[in-house]
A and B are shown apart, each in its own frame.
Chain A
Amino acid sequence: MKPNRRIGAALAALMLIPLYWIPFWSISLKAPQYPEGLGMYISINNVTGHSKHDISTINILNHYIGMKAIDVDAIPEIRIMPWIIAVMIVGGLLAAVTGSRLAILVWIGAFLVLAVAGFVDYYLWGYEYGHNLSPDAPIKVPGMSYQPPLIGTKQLLNINAGSWPYWGTLFMLVSFSLMTWVAKPVKNES
């Protein structure tokens, strides 16, 4: 493998490091009485409010419709994900060092599997939050559930919920594209 491709593979791996600081997803909630906005960021190791107290505000609002409180410590994914990404970074770097095209292909395969698993997990998480409502909820609207959209916007009672990729996703896409370029067959390669 040519040196520039190895560098490409290494860069693709390193591109995942910012995910430890930069959220890859954002859920925003718009309602008339929140002109300043309300929402949360999802990163591989944390769920935080758009501003400091948004999670507690969202929980207070959600308790009226019987949704479970979002408790960051009780989300297993954010304990697992940093390790998975660490494995991907190390794996990518190893592939760069060895220059093995097979390793690159396995990395790409793993990336795709993780991406699909991530979306499925996010969907299930949202489904659980949106459907598993307390029977004691003061506000019950027959037939209403509160699952946030997988991607896009959705009107949930007075709140317009939006679910969109955030800057972290861009790093993932660049990482992935870089690695697919590295894996591209080259005519002259022996």
Chain B
Amino acid sequence: MKRLHLFIGSAALLGLVLFMSGCPSSGNLLDTRDAAMKTYVAPGEHDEFYAFMSGGYSGQVSVFGIPSGRLFKVIPVFSQDPESGYGYYEESKALLNTSYGFIPWDDSHHPHLSQTDGMADGRWLFINGNNTPRIARIDLKSFKTVEILELPNTGGNHGSSFVTQNTEYVIGATRFSIPYEIDREVPISSYKDNFKGALTFIKVDPKTGNMTLDFQLVVPPYNYDLARAGKGKSADWYFFTTYNTEQAHTLLEINSSRNDRDYIAAVNWVKAAEYVRQGKGRRVPANYHHNTYDPATSLVNSKIQKDVWILEPKDAPGVMYFLPTPKSPHGVDVDPSGELLVAGGKLATVIPVHSFSKMLTAIENKEFDGEMNGIPIIKYESTMIGEVENPGLGPLHTEFDGKGFAYTSVYISSEVVKWSLETFKVVDRIDAYYSIGHLMIPGGDTRRPFGKYMIALNKTPKDRYLPVGPKQNHPAQLYDISGDKMQLLLDFPTIGEPHYAQGIRADLIAPNSMKIYPLETNGHPHAIKSVNESRVVREGNIVRVYMGMIRSNFRPDNIEGIRLGDTVYFHITNLEQEWDVLHGFAIKGATNGEVLLSPGQTKTFKWEPTRTGIFPFYCTAFCSALHQEMQGYVRVSPRGSNTPITFGTGTR
């Protein structure tokens, strides 16, 4: 059996090599002028789509325009951002609190837009942090991270952050199984006995978007790789890919690649939630942080949660089934109708397609092939509806164009294959430069995709751009998929390593984008609303500077009476109410960077001077014609000195 697979694998490889050398990819590149016209967004004009790309090891999310490929913004999420001061100024630090302390970095993988009726609605963007397992919510009015929830019992939150079709839940799924008990250490070799997997169901408040960890499903110790909620007829279900069903704990490269088939886990989340409501399962101790930004006060509430509700599939009949699928699948993607489940078996030689209706029938008729930890394993033949032959080597992830076709990224042969959802035959293929990971069609994971563009998220540009040393930024490629043949339009660099992206029509987001934070609703406890309220107050060893910024001065800008040993809090308010008039604050010798403020915002900058002297501070953002004049001085006197607190701006 294994030998046969190997044979087919090498045959496919050979075939591909012939194919690729036979017809160079440039054949599929549009006439340069046509491609330029299709991606040209004239100065002052707007793009048709927003694309939100994960930053991978940057920990952030970047926002691009499609079709131009222009970068608009990098939204700081899981990593400190020296540019904005995110993770450096006091209020933002709490967003990065975890049960392991303040973590200034994570690995952001799969952004997912909130949905209404199976369509992206442009309210929020969720994204997972893989390393110290977390999930974040970005508000798409302010383009700001407003919530981060840590996931307990999770080794690495990879199969995340996918939402259900009305954003009832957003999902977490562990890539690394670990023991459940808090801080429990065991011999690693006792993996099969002591390690468990966790699928985390996070409820989303339909009005505020706030997340609550509702319950976790305890699952066998496999690696849970990616997930998707169903849609339409399959809307009550979540689907997860697993690999390492071998339950290896060392040299996974070899040891988790032994089985010809791993599983898609199908979970009826509606039924599971019902069981939980009925009191099935139990509460177990846990330790995780839930950090929420309060828009009323601009403060972050960082709460420690001490328990979690868990449910075991053996106690919850009808909740979970395994669908065998070849081989170490990466993506499991649901077609727009909700009927077809496409697995990307990265070591498989075909793309297997399962049928949701056949799955339901098989469950009804108990067409099982044993079980695992009380989870029935459905016969492969019972759910299979087609296998796409000759898909290239290493199919990973599939999206849809809404016109009856699927597009699968294929890593090893570095290409995209387009195939028919009716015949399961490949109808077109095109090269990606180089080594494509995921791909994205705006709305391509929803009920009604915008089948106009496809973006390949590739792992290396090699020779595509001017070289910038041994480490280069990852490239994205834009293809026109409006016709029968895919056509390459544009090649542009990205930030970090985009593992996945989301695309949405610009008019679903642009009109709601905030221009300022209104001062009248600024409820920060240390905000000032006008320059007249600026002041300096000593409270023992703590000195609070209530500072205002307005073109082009600080109030106050001369401060005396600070002593060594003081902790100084600059509570700074940008008093501007004009779109994009930013001010920044930095002071000589500060060990925590700068802070950048949008109009109407209040932020707190902590400073513990270590030397006496005169310390200049200044505005770091070019705010106005007299930006260069926007500066001030702080006098720091020796410990115990009796220099009184004085402050002011412009007194003559």
> Which residues of chain A have a CB within 8 Å of any CB of chain B?
36, 52-53, 56-57, 60, 64, 138-139
Contact = CB atoms under 8 A, between A and B. Distances in A.
B625 interface: yes
Contact of B577 (A36, A53, A64, A138): A53
Interface in B337-369: none
A64 B516 contact: no
Contacts of B577: 52-53, 56-57
A54 to B, nearest CB: 9
Contacts of B629: 138
A138 B576 CA distance: 19
A57 B599 CA distance: 12
A148 B578 CA distance: 23
B625 A139 contact: yes
Contact of B626 (A36, A56, A57, A138): A138
B551 interface: yes
A77 to B, nearest CB: 25
Residue of B550, B551, B578, B624 with most partner-chain A CB within 10 A: B578
A36 B44 CA distance: 13
Interface residues of B, number: 11
B551 A60 contact: yes
A139 B624 CA distance: 12
Nearest to A55: B577
Given A53-B578, A60-B576, A138-B626, 12 more contacts: A53-B516, A53-B577, A56-B577, A56-B578, A57-B578, A60-B550, A60-B551, A64-B624, A64-B625, A64-B626, A138-B629, A139-B625
Contacts of A57: 577-578
Contacts of A139: 625
Contacts of B516: 53
12 contacts: A36-B579, A52-B577, A53-B577, A53-B578, A56-B578, A60-B550, A60-B551, A64-B624, A64-B625, A64-B626, A138-B626, A138-B629
A91 to B, nearest CB: 40
A60 B550 CA distance: 8
Interface in B496-542: 516
The interface residues of chain A, by DSSP majority, are classed as: loop
Nearest to B576: A60
Contacts of B579: 36
Contacts of B626: 64, 138
Contacts of A138: 626, 629
Most central of A52, A53, A57, A138 by chain B CB within 10 Å? A53
Interface in B66-94: none
Interface in B519-573: 550-551
Nearest to B550: A60
Contacts of A56: 577-578
B223 to A, nearest CB: 51
Nearest to A63: B551
A60 B579 CA distance: 14
A138 B552 CA distance: 11
B43 to A, nearest CB: 12
A159 to B, nearest CB: 13
A56 B581 CA distance: 13
A139 B550 CA distance: 17
A27 B516 CA distance: 24
Contacts of B625: 64, 139
Contacts of B624: 64
Interface string B573-608: 000111100000000000000000000000000000
A135 B551 CA distance: 18
B399 to A, nearest CB: 36
Contacts of B551: 60
Contacts of A36: 579
A36 B577 CA distance: 14
The 8 closest A-B pairs by CB, nearest first: A53-B577, A57-B578, A60-B551, A138-B626, A56-B577, A53-B578, A64-B625, A60-B550
A138 B626 CA distance: 8
Contacts of B550: 60
A177 B550 CA distance: 48
Contacts of B576: 60
Nearest to A138: B626
Nearest to B551: A60
Interface string B611-639: 00000000000001110010000000000
